[in-house]
């Protein structure tokens, strides 16, 4: 299981962003211990998050960018 610091390194973001993703429910995780506990993320949970966060550009989206001129 990965710690918040491990996940932040893999995503190349700050640990506070990982905490925010967990708090909002966007990043599945486990809490271990008493009280608030520590956050742990499995490899599968991280993979599922990344799969859901993937964005694939569509030709229609590129056509909407009228302020960008394409070379002729």
Write out 19-59 in H/E/C secondary structure. HHHHHHCCCCCEEECCCCCEEEECHHHHHHHHHHHCCCCCH
Please give the Cα distance from 72 to 61 (Å, whole number).
Answer: 19
Tell me which residue of 2, 1, 10, 3 sits closest to 53, measured CA to CA.
10
Its pTM stands at 0.75
Q: Has residue 61 got a pLDDT over 70?
A: no
Over residues 6-47, the pLDDT tens digits come to 999 999 999 999 999 999 999 999 999 998 899 999 999 999
The predicted structure's pLDDT at residue 13? 97
CA dist 29 and 41 (Å) reads: 5
The pLDDT score that the predictor gives to residue 40 is: 97
The secondary element (H helix, E strand) that includes residue 66 is none
């Amino acid at each position: 299981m990965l710690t918040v610091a491990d996940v932040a390194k893999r995503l190349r973001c700050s640990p506070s962003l990982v905490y925010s993703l967990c708090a909002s429910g966007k990043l599945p995780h486990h809490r271990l211990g008493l009280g608030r506990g520590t956050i742990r993320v499995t490899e599968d949970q991280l993979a599922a998050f990344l799969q859901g966060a993937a964005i694939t550009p569509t030709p229609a989206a590129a056509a909407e960018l009228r302020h960008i001129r394409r070379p002729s």
